[in-house]
């Protein structure tokens, strides 16, 4: 059997935000949540909102994840992102 992967939920992201606000490191947060510290580190960098001055926003992290998944779906298609192509409907 292979390895089972699961995505972070909004509840996971909120827990990460709360623990990060307490000043815990990615390793400490990962230990408490049962996740790898690299997952926490990637999520913290994904959810940063630099212009707003917020170090981590779980809602922003969720939105970025959705944007990236949508873009990945389009790039996997043979026609790419060109939705104006006459072959796109087929």
Whether 44 maps to a domain, the answer reads: yes
Q: Which of 47, 51, 10, 7 is nearest to 26 (CA)?
A: 47
Examine residue 22 and state whether it is found in any structural domain, yes or no.
Answer: yes
Question: What is the reported pLDDT for 3?
Answer: 65
In-domain check, residue 63: yes
Return per-residue pLDDT of the chain as tens, 90 residues: 556 667 888 899 999 999 999 999 999 999 999 999 999 998 898 888 767 666 888 888 888 888 887 777 666 665 555 666 666 655
DSSP 36-89: -HHHHHHHHHHT-BTTTTBS--HHHHHHHHHHHHHHHHHHHSTTTT-TTSTTTT
Looking at the domain assignment, is residue 21 inside a domain? yes
Structural domain tally of the chain?
Answer: 1
Nearest to 12 by CA among 20, 1, 4: 20
User: Is residue 90 domain-resident?
Assistant: no
* CA neighbor of 56 nearest in space, from 8, 27, 16: 16
Instruction: Establish if 81 belongs to a structural domain.
Output: no
Residue 20 in any domain: the answer is yes
Domain hosting 34: range is 10-75
- For the entire predicted model, the pTM comes to 0.70
- Would you say residue 3 lies in a domain? no
């Amino acid at each position: 059997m292979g390895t089972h992967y699961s995505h972070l939920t909004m509840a996971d992201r909120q827990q990460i935000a709360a623990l990060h606000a307490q000043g815990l490191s990615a390793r400490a947060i990962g230990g408490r949540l049962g996740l790898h510290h690299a997952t926490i580190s990637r999520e913290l960098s994904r959810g940063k909102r630099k212009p707003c001055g917020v170090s981590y926003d779980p809602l922003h992290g969720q939105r970025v994840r959705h944007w990236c998944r949508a873009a990945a779906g389009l790039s996997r298609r043979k026609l790419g992102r060109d939705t104006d192509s006459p072959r796109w409907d087929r």
